[in-house]
Amino acid sequence: MFKTSTTSLAVLTAIAQANQGLGVAVLSEQIDTTDGWVQLLPDGDFSSIDGRPHDVPGGKWKMNAEIAERLISQVQLRANELPIDYEHQTLKAADNGKPAPAAGWFKEMQYRAGKGLFVKPTWVADAKQRIINREYRYLSAVFPYDRTTGEPLAINMAALTNYPGLDGMQALASLAAQFGTAGNDSPTTNPREKAMNELLKKLLSRLGIVIDDGTEPTEQNINDAIAALTAMDTGKDKVAALTAEIAALKADTGNIDHSKYVPVDVYHALHAELASLKANNDVLTVDQVIEQAQNDGKLIVPAELSYLKSLGKQSLAALKASLDSRPVVAALMGKQTKGKAPDDVNKPTVAALTADQKTVADQLGISYDDMAKDLGA
């Protein structure tokens, strides 16, 4: 267990100075890797090119597998990534009041025997371009260390710098290769990658997913495309089955089950015939209702026959209700002329009929003789 009183902070740039009671080490390393990993601290015993650490016996910091494992475990337990700024401005911001923008972030670390401690940064766009342009070439570590042993106690942060505190560290220059640079370190575009992106955009557009010009497909765009393709794959079986059924119906027109299907012209003919029969049946029914009412002794005068038939055509129920409400005249049961003029209208009257009976006979259109016979006169 290291004691706080024996701890110093190392800011490994050549221009950094150690504070009283606090070692500040800034060790800058060239980034010389194409796999994304960058050397942060060398392996074994090491010191800054300006002679630090002056407060450690022997004037050396130390790095080995055991120390690296402890440092890596500490970083992995942190919730947040560690920052990489420019020229350690984060440490200077309180004094100069200037902002300290991030150049990148890191949390992945690994130890490489004989080489030291490596980190895998995620660079911000501006820092990428600066590295490509060779504006920055070195990575500088910031760590507290034990002044009795020179062992780093933690990794606090790092910074891009051009004045490294360590000689012989890997440079940032070759890191530009992983950002797609030409031989002269100028940015360039991979033609094959560009062509693939354009092809992907066209494929996505066929699925209804439009990518704006100047932008690249996002993960959500890809997920939407997968969902659309899945839906199409699910429905293709249904489409195939329907297509086969339609083809079978077209090819089998001579084997139609006539117990279930009839030609359309036959259907229309049957429909017209049914309508005609229904109309005739309605008329017959109206006549039958009137005839039945007359047979039942209901008083129906010839003058109202036309009206009653019209009423029956509109509503047979209304006709029946009207006739049913009329009183029954026993003498008239089955004896009315049903609209025909009486044959003996001009015959002499029978004296046996009263004036009222004659009136009834006139209204019914029957002869006085028949009236008299019906009344037993």
| Residue ranges in the chain whose pLDDT is less than 70 | 1-6, 11-34, 167-168, 170-196, 234-237, 252-262, 273, 276-284, 330-352, 376-377
Q: How many helices (H) and strands (E) does the chain have?
A: 10, 12
Burial class (CB in 10 A: 0-12, 13-18, 19+), 361: buried
Quick one: pLDDT at residue 186?
36
Position 213 scores a pLDDT of 75
- pTM (global) more than 0.75: no
For residue 176, the model assigns a pLDDT of: 34
Question: What is the dihedral sign for C-alpha 218, 224, 230, 236?
Answer: negative
Write out pLDDT tens, residues 315-367.
888 888 888 888 887 666 655 555 555 555 455 544 568 877 888 878 777 88
pLDDT of residue 185: 38
Q: How far is CA 291 from CA 235, 322, 339, in A?
A: 67, 14, 10
**Strand partners of residue 25:** 143
